Amino acid sequence: MRRIAAGLAVAALAVVFTTTGTATAQEDLVRPDCGYTATPEEPAARPVSIPHNPWFIKGKVLVKVKTNQGDIPLLLDRAKAPCTTHSFIHLALRGFYNNTECHRLTAYPTLKVLQCGDPTATGEGGPGYRYKDELPTDLQPAPNDPTGQRRIYPRGTLAMANAGPDTNGSQFFLVQSDSVLRPNYSVFGQILPEGLKTLDKIAAGGIAGENPLDGSPNVKSVLRWVLPLGV
């Protein structure tokens, strides 16, 4: 199972995005090598192609995520994580995230997130490919951390879940409250204020099952449709 420290969940969502910023000829010459690689041992949860390396490495992408619990608009940052942003858009344009469901919510004192992006809602599903990390370098150190290695993923952060180095796929997580993690998860955008209200609503419903800190959210959240604009 792909985990963020203690683990995370899939939110069922729908996505509408527009872009700001364009690529120049110079940017085209420095296309990153994202290492998009097929994973036959972990086939795609839904049929989808493997993306090519991105042409655009600058600019922001507005993503309106439509769920049955409310909208979760996101703002992706190509400059911070061009490979991750490109993969997310690639999957959304092909309907990979449509009609999927949140599978995990965490409520630990230092980890409050909702994980999304697995059509199987088991924590095991992915797109049938993996790609390189784009790890954050600007996160604040966690206070009182004796190791000095943990960082604060602030409320509103959008980041990728993974199963180890360079194993990014389709699962991502939404940070509902400041969370402390090693900087091993690629940050590729932020949740806009309207989305935080929806995320708070889902988190307030608590967690199903025997573990009140980690499991499926009580408030079922379903991704309805995806409509890309301007990409």
Range list of β-strands (E), the chain:
15-20, 37-38, 60-67, 70-71, 74-77, 104-106, 112-116, 129-130, 151-153, 157-160, 172-177, 179-181, 187-191, 214-215, 227-228
Is 73 within a domain?
yes
pLDDT at 26: 46
Would you call 180 helix, strand, or coil by DSSP? strand
Is 51 within a domain?
yes
Residue 12 identity: A
CB contact set of 3 (below 8 Å; sequence gap of 6+): 123, 161, 163
pTM for the model: 0.90
Is 155 within a domain?
yes
How many distinct structural domains can be found in the chain?
1
Q: Which residue has the tokens 């150190």?
A: 141
In tens, the pLDDT along 64-78 reads 889 999 999 999 999
- CATH at 78: 2.40.100.10
Residue 190 identity: Q
pLDDT at 29: 56
pLDDT at 30: 79
* Structural domain harbouring 43: 15-23+34-228
Is 6 within a domain?
no
Residues of the chain below pLDDT 50: 1, 6-27
Is 142 within a domain?
yes
Q: Mind spelling out the 3-state secondary structure of 158-173?
A: EEECECCCCCECCCEE
Q: Bridge partners of 16? A: 64, 227
Is 193 within a domain?
yes
In tens, the pLDDT along 194-225 reads 999 999 999 999 999 899 999 999 999 887 76
pLDDT at 227: 54
Is 160 within a domain?
yes
Is 28 within a domain?
no
Phi-psi group of 190: left, alpha or beta (phi > 0 → left; psi -120 to 50 → alpha; rest → beta): beta
